[in-house]
């Protein structure tokens, strides 16, 4: 590390699904909230969208809004948030990747600012991340109506791809003002990893240095 770099703060940005966790968490979350029978019914109606997304014909944000409109629209946000917090406390711990948690612990020991940056839903990522000790959470948010019910649409952009870089800069300022360690596992992390000083794709290094 150069003298100039030594004077900059250090930030560690972790993707959530597939990086901090062993798998995608949306399906487990929907199963927790709705139950298996309802999820199967919704999946049948959403099959054209799911197939289109799998073939790369429908982008991530549009597919999510269709899923959320079908599965969550009309629910009270306060009740959904309660279920999300239960999911974060009861289910997420069993889905975590221990090597990534050890790397996060290493960053904390070094005094680095630690951020979860995820396309997953803020309502369950945030309570888990805050309990775990992360400094900041950047994630996808759900829109609500004035009556407090979920519309099914996203509030702002899906936190995916270049949006991760934009949101991180909105939080921390210009990219060259800090040293960035970034951890990701999918194409949704490509731009974030490309912008990092130290990028780790599907790999968490040992912490003994």
Structure tokens at 140: 């996808």
Count of structural domains, the chain: 1
Domain-embedded: residue 102: yes
Q: Can you give the pLDDT of all 209 residues of the chain as single tens digits?
A: 554 566 799 999 999 999 999 999 999 999 999 999 999 999 999 999 999 988 888 888 999 999 999 999 999 999 999 999 999 999 999 999 999 999 999 999 999 999 999 999 999 999 999 999 999 999 999 999 999 999 999 999 999 999 999 999 999 999 989 999 999 999 999 999 999 999 999 877 765 44
- Domain hosting 72: range is 3-201
Which CATH number does the domain housing residue 50 bear? 3.40.50.1000
Instruction: Identify whether 91 is part of a domain.
Output: yes
């Amino acid at each position: 590390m150069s003298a100039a770099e030594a004077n900059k703060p250090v930030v560690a940005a972790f993707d959530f699904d597939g990086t901090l966790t062993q798998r995608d968490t949306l399906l487990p979350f929907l199963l927790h909230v709705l139950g298996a029978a309802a999820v199967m019914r919704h999946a049948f109606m959403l099959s054209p969208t799911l197939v289109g997304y799998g073939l790369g014909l429908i982008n991530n944000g549009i597919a999510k809004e269709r899923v959320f409109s079908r599965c969550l629209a009309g629910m009270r946000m306060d009740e959904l948030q309660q279920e999300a917090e239960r999911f974060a406390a009861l289910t997420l711990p069993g889905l975590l990747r221990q090597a990534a948690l050890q790397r996060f612990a290493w960053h904390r020991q070094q005094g680095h600012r630690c951020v979860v940056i995820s396309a997953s839903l803020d309502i369950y990522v945030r309570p888990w991340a805050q309990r775990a000790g992360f400094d900041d959470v950047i994630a996808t948010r759900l829109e609500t109506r004035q009556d407090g019910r979920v519309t099914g649409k996203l509030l702002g952009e899906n936190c995916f791809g270049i949006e991760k870089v934009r949101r991180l800069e909105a939080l921390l300022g210009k990219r060259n003002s800090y040293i960035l360690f970034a951890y990701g596992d999918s194409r949704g992390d490509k731009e974030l990893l490309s912008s990092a000083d130290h990028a780790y794709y599907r790999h968490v290094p040992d912490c003994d240095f």
